[in-house]
Amino acid sequence: MITAAWVLRKANLEDSGLLVDIAIDGGKIKAIGQNLPIRGNEEWDLSGLVVLPAFVDAHVHLDQTLSTSFNKSGTLIEANELWNEEKRRLTYERYFMRALQAQNIAITYGTTALRTHVDVYSSGFWLALEAILDARKRQRDLITVQIVALGKGGNNPQDEKALQQALKMGADLIGGSPAFTPNPKKSIDTLFDLAELHDKSLDLHVDEVDDGRIMTLEYLAEKTLERGFKGRVTAGHCNSLSFADDATADRVMDKVKEAEINIVTLPSADMVQMGRGLKPSPRGLTPVKELLGRSINVAAASDKVRDSFNPLGSYDLLQTANLLAHASQLTGTHEIPMCLEMVTTRAASVLGLKEYGLFEGAEANLVVVNSKNLTDTLASVPERLGIFRKGQLVLRTVSRRVWTEGLVWT
């Protein structure tokens, strides 16, 4: 009989009504099918538990996370003040330990790849970048980490120089927040110049405001086409799109679609920061339903986690998908699986990960969750019972609940 390193028996992949076996060997999914005639060196009978592709966090900030600065007012103004102050006293060791701890948390929730932004505009930024490069190296067998050099927007030679230095040190992509610069168009032009020069993709913070008049996304989409960067640009947040009039939003979304820009929505951070003081109080997220309706690739990610910008948030992408389903009202039967895709396959596509998903020949990155169907998976945010990365079992959860006898009917 054929053998494999692992065979997971009776897994529920897509609520199709059929339970399948998954054979894993050589780091890849060797076969998927009913009653596979393959013997596993190790076997696990899942008895109908759901198996998902491992999670991919398309947008986090490992330099800012798990902070000890507390934002009394909760506002963006105070958050920025606290973060700028905190950066002056953070050491390499502190950055390194925070990044490592955050990566560990992410892994325990079943995330096997993430993309982090790192500020590269303050003096001494290289401390944070160096620490995160080292944290990535330390856990390279457990998690794939991509690094975006987050500059001020390329509006001055100093910022350009910092971005170039960050790329030289090992950052993978160019980032920035053009809407927050004095000249957003010039900022976008400069970022494309740099991206062209260094042959890098762009991942920008875009229109992170609850004001529909601010719309740098449109210029970004036009330039993406003009500069030949189709499919190589990612735009995070894009909140103002939800506040624009219908004609503007439709026009911009058509251009985004044509330019094949990936949109990343950040439900926790956006709900915490957007729409403060507005009445009626909006949810503040980019219009996910409309973007998906145009077949634009949308991912959902953690963004800020336990820092001065967001004391909430987590690296649990099932929780993010749950928040997104609530905030964007993605509760139709066809929309439930989409919420899960936005933290797995759609996010993997943002990171450009190849051979990602649950199919024969794909890299065996998968999560067994304590749930029997997809709706329950999204609703109850169940425990991750087993996490595989490149075919290796990274973590298995074993827990037992014990009722006190006589108190509960079971």
Summarize as ranges the residues that interact with Zn ion (CB under 5 A). Answer: 303
Q: At closest approach, how far in Å is the CB of 324 from Zn ion?
A: 16
- Closest CB to Zn ion among 53 and 313? 313
CB atoms within 10 A of CB 49: 22
Q: Which is nearer to Zn ion, 117 or 227 (CB)?
A: 117
Closest C-alpha to 9, from 36, 39, 33, 45: 45
Tell me which residue has its CB nearest to Zn ion: 303
- Report d(CA 309, CA 74) in Å as an integer: 7
CA 298 to chain centroid, in Å, comes to 10
Return the sign of the alpha-carbon dihedral for residues 286, 287, 291, 292: positive
**Which residue's CB is nearer to Zn ion, number 57 or number 303?**
303
Whether 78 is a known active-site residue: answer no
Contacts of 24 (CB under 8 A, 6+ apart): 4, 5, 6, 7, 8, 30, 40, 364, 388, 391
State in angstroms the smallest separation of the CB of 373 from Zn ion.
33
Q: Which of 43, 81, 130, 208 is catalytic?
A: 208
Nearer to Zn ion by Cβ, of 238 and 348: the residue is: 238
* Residue nearer to Zn ion on the CB measure, 21 or 303: 303
Give the sheet arrangement for strand 233-237, strand by strand. Answer: 55-60, 111-119, 144-150, 173-175, 202-206, 233-237, 262-265, 298-300
Extract the tokens encoding 216: 């740098």
Shortest CB 125 distance to Zn ion, Å:
16
In the bound complex, what is the minimum distance in angstroms from residue 362's beta carbon to Zn ion?
29
Question: Least CB distance from residue 16 to Zn ion, whole Å?
Answer: 36
Tokens coding 190? 């400069």
CA dist 350 and 233 (Å) reads: 9
Evaluate whether 285 touches 272 at the Cβ level (below 8 Å): no
List active site positions. Answer: 208
